[in-house]
Amino acid sequence: MVTKSKSTGAVGRKAVAAKPVKAAPAPGKRAKAAAAPDRADAPKKREKLVRDGFTIPKGEYAALADLKQRAAKLGQAAKKSELLRAGIKLLTELADTRFVSALLAVPTLKTGRPRVSEASVTPAAAPKSTPKAAATRKPATKKPAPRKVVARKRA
């Protein structure tokens, strides 16, 4: 098989490994091979992870910290995500009536990120600009960065 190399532009041959030829199995071995499961020794594939963000009230967030400390005192360190996943497992085991009552005990929150009020902005986080500097500053406009053109040498 002849292919064109992308890097040099020269014509080369692609190496192909020869496959070994298997001999036909004996009649007695074929029955044993069919009885054994092929994927018994295959490792279990890990489930794909999903990253998500959510809003939680401060009291419930503090409860997560308390649960982490409680788990550490019991000799079982836990992360916030592990605690949330454990809670999900417990919710899936509940009967429908208990599940609905647990949902009703949780107040509904507005979706999205909470607004940062000016009262909650700390003096350290406030922008340090003087009125004089703000008056002379140009309004911010985003311009796309110019693309660099690189000339390639042909071999």
134 pLDDT exceeds 70? Answer: no
Residue 152 pLDDT level (bands cut at 50, 70, 90): confident
67 pLDDT exceeds 50? Answer: yes
Give per-residue pLDDT as tens, 77-104. 999 999 999 999 999 999 999 999 999 9
pLDDT at position 139 is 61
pLDDT at position 25 is 54
Higher pLDDT, 146 or 63: 63
Residue 61's CB is within 10 A of a number of other CB atoms, namely 11
In angstroms, what is the C-alpha Rg of the chain?
A: 32
Pair of tokens at residue 126: 């406030």
Q: How many angstroms separate the first and last alpha carbons of the chain?
A: 23
Residue 112 pLDDT level (bands cut at 50, 70, 90): confident
pTM, to two decimals: 0.45
What residue ranges do the domains of the chain occupy? 58-104
Average pLDDT, the chain: 73
pLDDT at position 137 is 60
Strand (E) or helix (H) holding 3: strand 2-4
pLDDT at position 56 is 87
Residue 141 pLDDT level (bands cut at 50, 70, 90): low
